[in-house]
Chains A and B, each alone.
Chain A
Amino acid sequence: MLYRENGQFKSTYREDQQLFPILQDRVFMLGLLVFAFGVVPFIASDYVFKAVLIPWLILALAAVGLNILVGYCGQISLGTAAFMAVGAYAAYNLFIRIPGLNFVAILFIAGFIAALVGMLFGIPSLRIKGLYLAVATLAAQFFMDWVFARVKWFTNYNPSGSVAPPAIDMLGWTVDAPVEKYLFVLAIVAVFSLAARNLTRSAIGRAWMATRDMDVAAEVIGIRPVHAKLTAFGVSSFFAGVAGALWGFVHLGAWEPLAFNINLSFNLLFMIIIGGMGSILGSFLGSAFIVLMPILLNQVLPALGGLFGIHVDTALVSHVELMVFGALIVFFLIAEPHGLARLWAIGKEKLRLWPFPH
């Protein structure tokens, strides 16, 4: 009843092609943004900012990047964490070697460096496909781990190999309070998600999807596979690089190569599989699932035990956390193999019929 597009006539192409053609969607998105920018900063605690919202948003951004590559262009990659690491270390080196550079500029340059590296490691995709490509991108992961652990220049000759950049300072604004960090990350993520959403609707996005669906057919209708695949690698790594720089600078504050190890790559891949391949929304949902669920379980279990007067010790909590988390992944994949984003879409379709289903 509420969610129905009856009576919304589109009289121009512009109206028909806009980002959210249905009024309710526009209102909802606008409301969400107003809520995120205007209300959340006043109601959330420091803990929620630092341990929940910031990591969620940053990893969602990385997942959006990976989704462009895997979900839209169909090239499986296991090297996302490596491209994040490139972004983080590039940002760190720009930060200490070029004093006074604006952090937004640093983010963009770091993203471009990551994009270049991503395209370099994307070259094999022109010849190999599917799981073989996944193995090839694994090389990026191991290579970057090695580079940042061994080449001392990247860590500014820090004996421990751990780097710790100072707080972000932009035009006199020091981003150090949790709220400021949150707003900064939110702004970046919002802009980039919008860009990603538009990219996927453009000519290049259609080229990616055509390549994903059948690359031979795509080539026949005039899409250059080299161009489509390499741009997908580039754009995806750009997103990953920006997310990596944010992860290091804003979330961790100090990091070592281990922070960007293969586990993170796998987690990002799980995020888009659970969230939904080929969906920007899915990246956010999947990231929420992977980031928040362990934290939630970790806090809920002792409290639940407390309700029944049982003392749940720390080791048991983390074991149960792993088991429940694994079971939930299996459950969601069985319930909806196309991810949480598909559940959302089904929900919307149901809502259209409500309250008079056929």
Chain B
Amino acid sequence: MKQRLGQWMKASVLALAGVSAGSAVAQSANEIFVPVLVYRTGAYAPNGTPWANGFVDYLKLVNERDGGVNKVKLAFEECETGYATDRGVECYERLKSKKPVGVNPLSTGITFALTEKVAADKIPLFTTGYGRSESVDGSVFAWNFPLMGTYWTAADILVQHVSKKGSLKGKKIALVYHDSPYGKEPIPVLEEHAKKHGFELLKLPVTHPGVEQKSQWLQIRQARPDYVFLWGWGVMNSTAVKEAIAVSYPRLQMYAVWWAAAEPDVVSSENSAKGYNGLALGHSAENDRPVHKDIAKFVYDKGNGTGKKEEIGQVLYNRGMISAAMVVEAIRTAQKKHGNRVVTGEEVRWGAENLNIDAARVKAMGMEGMIQPIKTSCADHEGARSARIHTWDGKNWSYTSEWYSSDQKMLAPMVKAAAAKYAADKKITPRDCSKEK
């Protein structure tokens, strides 16, 4: 026993030595560090992996093609969270020592857990297309950036879209949602809309990880709602699509949030999923834009690709790529003010708050038609709030609606109220946005 213990001790000492050696190599002083919290394993891996590939590929592209952001190289490191909040917090703490300039947790639960920590550590929290909806109000949530659209925006746009097809009065809408902060986010807006339009909202929570949905879909079969809104993630999405097919709920009447409308969700059901609709957060599965060609040329052709070459341009790949682009643009904006050097988290926060990505800049980024112009400010950390619907035709996603923008008359007061409540709970004094520069 003693001998074995001795060996064990030796192994762990060796291992510890390895850790310190490994982390020393990872970063040098003249690089900007971007942590990448990902999940490539577990129930959420089908969706987490393409996002992570897109994110990392874009960072690699910026380093390869442009030699970094204004010639300042980007360093990055992945950390597996498995979509679990405690592991996500551990990853954040682990990578924090490398002075990151922005965190993308890719989980609303982790976003909630980090919201306070990032403010204390002065690291901006980028939640492109997710996160907590009230964090649009930058006067209270100085460090959160739910860029390009929150779940409240998404819920509002979905209701706008279905109400265009005919009055919602007396109709039934079922919300099948992941029973987590992520899935619960849209509920307040949908409830508000239910009151306004006079429809009935059925709330059907699905517990983690979401492979068991028989009873929810039985309820749908009994209640026959006019529309089903799907707020799922990971294996829950493909399961929901299969269950819908099993109870023969028409896919045409299903509308998913932008996280539940990508290839991994429908590919396994292929043709049977035909007609399944989802929100497109500005982009769909474009794969022919200059940025994609550059990624193929500068990253994949040099053998540096993170995923498979043919998966470039999938919906979630694009989402990851755009999320990385947002961080890069925030760094670029910060450098405009502070000079082309290694910027700090605090400076990047300023950059993210003063983003101004106009049509020309979008074109220069090689993402024409994939992102709407974004302009953030102290009062508005969302920057852009429009989306359209795309539909699965059995092989591809194609746009099937015009652009919608969320109704600020309704959402702005809700954001204000929720942010004020948070500020009161946490005893935060909101910043005065008129004085921010």
Instruction: Check: B425 CB closer than 8 A to any chain A CB.
Output: yes
Contact: A314 with B38, CB < 8 Å? yes
Complex Cα spacing A159 to B86, Å: 21
- Given the interface contacts A51-B94, A159-B187, does A315 sit within 8 Å of B41 by beta carbon? yes
- The reply on A93 being an interface residue by CB < 8 A is no
Q: How large is the interface on A (under 10, 10 to 19, 20 to 34, 35 or more residues)?
A: 35 or more
A188 within 8 A of B: no
Q: Is A183 located at the chain interface by the 8 A CB criterion? A: no
Of B18, B117, B187, B427, most A-chain CB atoms within 10 Å = B18
> Which residues from B are CB-within-8-Å of A347?
2, 5
* B-side interface mostly: helix
Q: Interface residue count for B (Cβ, 8 Å)? A: 54
Q: Counting CB contacts under 8 A, is A164 at the interface?
A: yes
Asked whether A29 is an interface residue with its Cβ less than 8 Å from the other chain, the reply is no
Specify which of B12, B18, B82, B179 is in contact with A318 (CB 8 Å cutoff): B82
| Closest-CB distance, A92 to chain B (whole angstroms) | 11
A253 to B113, CA, bound (A): 6
B246 within 8 A of A: no
Stretch at the interface among B21-29, B276-284, B326-334, B337-345: B21-29
Whole-angstrom distance between the alpha carbons of A335 and B120 in the complex? 45
B1 touches A51 (CB 8 A): no
Chain B residues in 8 Å Cβ range of A160? 108, 112, 132, 181, 184-185
List residues 146-182 of chain A with CB under 8 A from any CB of chain B: 149, 159-162, 164, 166-167, 176
Do B184 and A296 touch across chains, with their CB atoms under 8 A apart?
Answer: no
The residue of chain A having its C-beta at the shortest distance from the C-beta of B418 within the complex is A159
Contact A252 B86 (CB under 8 A): yes
Q: Which B residues lie within 8 Å of A51 (CB)?
A: 89-90, 93-94
* Closest residue of B by beta carbon distance from A49: B93
Residues of A near B2 (CB, < 8 A) are: 347, 350
Assess whether A161 is in contact with B184, with CB atoms less than 8 Å apart. Answer: yes
Q: How far is the CA of A319 from the CA of B45 in the complex (A)?
A: 12
Whether A46 contacts B96 in the complex (CB less than 8 A), given A296-B15, A303-B18, A318-B80, comes out as yes
Measured CA separation A299–B95 after assembly (Å):
11
Q: Interface of A with B (CB < 8 Å)?
A: 45-47, 50-51, 55, 96, 149, 159-162, 164, 166-167, 176, 251-256, 258-259, 261, 295-296, 298-300, 302-304, 306-307, 313-315, 317-319, 335-336, 343, 346-347, 350
Q: 15 additional contacts, CB 8 Å, given A161-B184, A307-B18, A315-B41?
A: A46-B97, A159-B184, A162-B109, A166-B425, A166-B427, A251-B89, A254-B113, A256-B180, A300-B16, A303-B22, A306-B21, A314-B78, A318-B41, A343-B1, A347-B2
Q: List 24 A-B contacts (CB under 8 A).
A: A46-B93, A46-B96, A47-B96, A51-B94, A55-B90, A149-B179, A160-B181, A160-B184, A161-B184, A164-B115, A164-B116, A164-B426, A166-B426, A253-B116, A254-B115, A258-B180, A298-B80, A303-B22, A314-B40, A314-B80, A315-B80, A317-B80, A318-B40, A347-B2
